[in-house]
């Protein structure tokens, strides 16, 4: 490429970044109320938080919380699924109004989207290995472990120097464990336990790697919507709705013990 051409290309890239960088396309509260429905996104590949039932409907803990939030705001809930690693950019660009996608807190995400003041459930990172495996902890892993792309589990494995391979979601990671490409899977304890009840040939080993809180996020500058959702989430906690949804999916309360913790708790 000639120097002049390179200048043109760089100029075009720079122009594109400058033009579209500062523009927000997220719908504010008034717009959502006017259109009568709110678009709430989750991964759809994180059972039992979000999964597709036999009728291809999004269901799960995240789906139920999403519906309850929309109801509090007096609008219909439209649930959408997107690959977890694309959810932040989908919220940023306004394709989705709200993410109820079990997102833990990270400073990088907090720079891109806004978190509600309270988490809506908490769990912990857990290593799962094939039933036949003799491994008793993550330090004994001979093979890499599978982890969902863009999750805080991936960040934790990187930081602690473990060998891993990323997949787009946990069901895909479980496929990799089954086919022997990886030696195990790191995900939320509740998610792995649910997969086992559904027939995944896995078992949890070792203690929780760490505890994490899951949050609802909205577009960065969407302050009205954030305030309304904050209020709705507190109400849902106080009136017992969150606990009830938790009992429905997990037979235990995964909300109350952490609802008032700061969202940055590790």
Partner 1 sequence: MSNVVTPAILHALLKGAILSVQLSVLTYGLALLFGLIAALMRRSGNVVVKGVARFYIELFRGTPALVQIFFAYFATPQIFAWLNRLVFEPLSGGRVLLPPHLSPFAAAVLALSLGYGAYLSEVIRAGIESIHKGQAEAAASLGLGGRDIMRFVVIPPAIRLMIPPFGNYALALLKDSSLASTISVVELTLSTERAISYNYQPAMMWAAAAVIYLALSMVGSFLFSYLEVVADPIRRRRGRPLTRLEPVSSGDGEGDA
- Among 44-52, 101-109, 207-215, 236-244, the segment contacting partner 1 (CB under 8 A): 44-52
Q: Does 83 bind partner 1 (CB under 8 A)?
A: yes
Phi then psi for 265, rounded to 5 degrees?
Answer: -55, 135
Q: Does 37 bind partner 1 (CB under 8 A)?
A: no
Instruction: Report the site for partner 1 in 200-229 (rule: CB under 8 A).
Output: 200-201
| Residue number with CB closer to partner 1 (204 or 263) | 204
Q: Does 52 bind partner 1 (CB under 8 A)?
A: yes
Residue 192 CA: distances (Å) to CA of 40, 76, 184:
24, 31, 11
| Residue number with CB closer to partner 1 (52 or 210) | 52
**Strands 121-130 and 202-219, bridge-based pairing:** antiparallel
How many Cα atoms sit within 13 Å of 120 on the Cβ side? 32
- Among 61-69, 77-85, 244-252, 258-266, the segment contacting partner 1 (CB under 8 A): 77-85
Contact criterion met (CB below 8 Å) for 48 and 250: yes
**CA dist., res. 84 & res. 102, Å (int):** 10
Instruction: Report the site for partner 1 in 89-108 (rule: CB under 8 A).
Output: 89-90, 93-95
Token pair, residue 68, equals: 């309850």
Residue 86 CA: distances (Å) to CA of 39, 96, 261:
15, 11, 27
**CA dist., res. 48 & res. 51, Å (int):** 6
- Smallest gap from Cβ 95 to partner 1, in A, equals 5
Select from 2, 4, 5, 55 the one that contacts partner 1 (CB under 8 A): 55
Select from 80, 154, 224, 235 the one that contacts partner 1 (CB under 8 A): 80
- Smallest gap from Cβ 241 to partner 1, in A, equals 27
Helix axes 61-72, 223-238, angle to 10 degrees: 110
**CA dist., res. 223 & res. 229, Å (int):** 10
| Residue number with CB closer to partner 1 (86 or 140) | 86
Q: Tell how far CA 83 is from the center of its chain.
A: 9
- Among 2-10, 23-31, 236-244, 255-263, the segment contacting partner 1 (CB under 8 A): 23-31
Select from 3, 197, 199, 251 the one that contacts partner 1 (CB under 8 A): 199
Contacts 24+ apart (CB under 8 A), 234-241: 234/118, 235/72, 236/65, 236/68, 236/69, 236/72, 237/118, 241/68
Q: Does 1 bind partner 1 (CB under 8 A)?
A: no
- Smallest gap from Cβ 117 to partner 1, in A, equals 27
Select from 65, 79, 82, 186 the one that contacts partner 1 (CB under 8 A): 82
| Residue number with CB closer to partner 1 (94 or 155) | 94
Q: Does 86 bind partner 1 (CB under 8 A)?
A: yes
């Amino acid at each position: 490429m000639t120097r002049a051409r390179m200048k043109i290309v760089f100029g075009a890239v720079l122009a594109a970044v400058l033009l579209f960088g500062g523009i927000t396309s997220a719908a504010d509260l008034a717009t959502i109320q006017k259109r009568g429905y709110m678009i709430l996104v989750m991964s759809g590949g994180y059972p039992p938080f979000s999964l597709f039932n036999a009728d291809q409907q999004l269901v799960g803990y995240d789906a139920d919380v999403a519906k309850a939030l929309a109801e509090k705001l007096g609008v219909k809930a439209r649930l959408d699924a997107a690959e977890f690693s694309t959810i932040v950019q989908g919220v940023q660009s306004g394709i989705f109004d709200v993410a109820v996608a079990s997102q833990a807190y990270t400073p990088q995400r907090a720079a891109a989207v806004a978190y509600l003041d309270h988490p809506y459930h908490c769990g912990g990172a857990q290593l799962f290995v094939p039933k036949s495996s003799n491994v008793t902890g993550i330090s004994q892993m001979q093979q890499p472990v599978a982890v969902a792309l863009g999750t805080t589990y991936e960040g934790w494995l990187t930081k602690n120097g473990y060998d891993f391979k990323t997949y787009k979601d946990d069901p895909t990671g479980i496929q990799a464990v089954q086919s022997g490409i990886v030696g195990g899977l790191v995900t939320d304890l509740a998610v792995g336990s649910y997969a086992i009840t559904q027939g995944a040939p896995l078992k949890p080993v070792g203690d929780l790697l760490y505890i994490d809180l899951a949050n609802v996020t909205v577009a960065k500058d969407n302050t009205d919507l954030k305030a309304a959702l904050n209020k709705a989430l507190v109400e849902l906690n106080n009136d017992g709705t969150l606990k009830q949804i938790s009992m429905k999916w997990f037979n235990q309360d995964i909300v109350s013990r952490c609802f008032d913790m700061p969202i940055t708790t590790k």
